[in-house]
């Protein structure tokens, strides 16, 4: 099975491991991530203004290319996933944005939200299935106590992300169980890490991440997993912070394809 794949800017640079472990794992699970021929950075933050068009076009181009190929569009970074799903929702439901965005594009047929956007985790849950994943695990992570860190962008707004219950998610916990490890549920798992505030106000992000870290530690976690390079960067700045891994690294490890993936 082949999916169109949107890596995003960070997975081509600082988060190459997030990408490489995902591709290797995908092959082990019987599907392929086929990178789009042309993609540009999504901008990292969804442009909220109702009159913002130009800043949404990079997403629209990616969505339209996947439509041309007749493939679902998979992404890994929480921010890319957030932006692509929200722009796709605009293209589906907001006539004014759809019309004006299409006016910029040279498409044979206007794009109207036909592409299905999936986070890699959704592919694992809904296409592969966690039961099948569990069967394919060769190195179960038995005994590891892992805290899933969702952050903001994967889940909210719940109506549009439609990934999981935004207040009581279980996607990553089920993923952790499938790998043979033990999920640690703690209250701050879907609270913000500070996001881009860490550029100009690192102390503010640090305070927030300290709270998240203490919360997870208090419930007995030994490490975090995340899908977001920025969450990982911010969490790594805490004092005596738990180690933070991309979920794909643990996946590749459990599937026995970690060696040689990078």
Partner 1 sequence: MNAKEQVQQISGVNPYKCMKCGKCSATCPAYEEMDIKPHQFVSYVQSGNIEALAACKSMWKCLSCFACVERCPRDVQPGRILDAARQIVVRQRGGNYLTAEEIPPLVDEDLPQQLLVSAYRRYKR
Contact positions toward partner 1, by CB under 8 A?
8-10, 13-15, 41, 43-51, 55, 77, 79, 152, 155-158, 166-167, 191-192, 194-201, 204, 208, 228-230, 232-233, 236
Q: Give the residue from 205, 187, 207 showing the smallest Cα distance to 195.
A: 205
Q: CA-to-CA distance for 243 and 241, rounded, in angstroms? A: 6
> Could you tell me the smallest distance in angstroms from the CB atom of residue 48 to partner 1?
4
Which is nearer to partner 1, 127 or 160 (by Cβ)? 160
Which is nearer to partner 1, 55 or 139 (by Cβ)? 55
Which is nearer to partner 1, 158 or 220 (by Cβ)? 158
Which is nearer to partner 1, 193 or 255 (by Cβ)? 193
**Cβ(46)–Cβ(80) under 8 Å?**
no
> Could you tell me the smallest distance in angstroms from the CB atom of residue 45 to partner 1?
5
Which is nearer to partner 1, 230 or 242 (by Cβ)? 230
Which is nearer to partner 1, 208 or 250 (by Cβ)? 208
> Could you tell me the smallest distance in angstroms from the CB atom of residue 68 to partner 1?
26
> Could you tell me the smallest distance in angstroms from the CB atom of residue 44 to partner 1?
4
> Could you tell me the smallest distance in angstroms from the CB atom of residue 240 to partner 1?
18
> Could you tell me the smallest distance in angstroms from the CB atom of residue 199 to partner 1?
5
Alpha-carbon 91 to chain mean position: 21
Q: CA-to-CA distance for 206 and 6, rounded, in angstroms? A: 30
């Amino acid at each position: 099975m082949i999916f169109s794949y949107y890596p995003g800017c960070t997975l081509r640079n600082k988060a190459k491991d997030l990408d490489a472990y995902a591709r290797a794992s995908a092959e082990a699970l019987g599907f392929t991530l086929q990178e789009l021929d042309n993609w540009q950075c999504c901008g990292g933050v969804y442009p909220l203004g109702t009159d913002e068009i130009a800043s949404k076009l990079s997403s629209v181009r990616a969505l339209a290319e996947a439509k041309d190929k007749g493939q679902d569009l998979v992404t890994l970074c929480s921010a890319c996933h957030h932006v692509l799903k929200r722009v796709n929702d605009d293209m589906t439901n907001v006539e004014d944005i759809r019309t004006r965005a299409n006016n910029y594009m040279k498409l044979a047929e206007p794009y109207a939200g036909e592409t299905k956007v999936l986070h890699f985790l959704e592919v694992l849950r809904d296409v592969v299935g966690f039961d099948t994943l569990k069967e394919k695990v060769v190195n179960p992570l038995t005994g590891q106590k892992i805290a899933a860190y969702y952050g903001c962008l994967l889940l909210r707004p719940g109506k549009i992300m439609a990934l999981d219950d935004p207040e009581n998610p279980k996607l990553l916990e089920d993923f952790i169980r499938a790998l043979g490890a033990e999920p640690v549920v703690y209250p701050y798992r879907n609270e913000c890490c500070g996001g881009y505030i860490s550029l100009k106000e690192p102390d503010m992000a640090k305070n927030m991440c300290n709270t998240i870290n203490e919360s997870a530690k208090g419930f007995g976690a030994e490490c975090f997993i995340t899908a977001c390079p920025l969450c990982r960067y911010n969490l790594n700045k805490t004092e005596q912070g738990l180690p933070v891994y991309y979920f794909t690294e643990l996946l590749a490890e459990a599937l026995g394809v970690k060696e040689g993936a990078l």
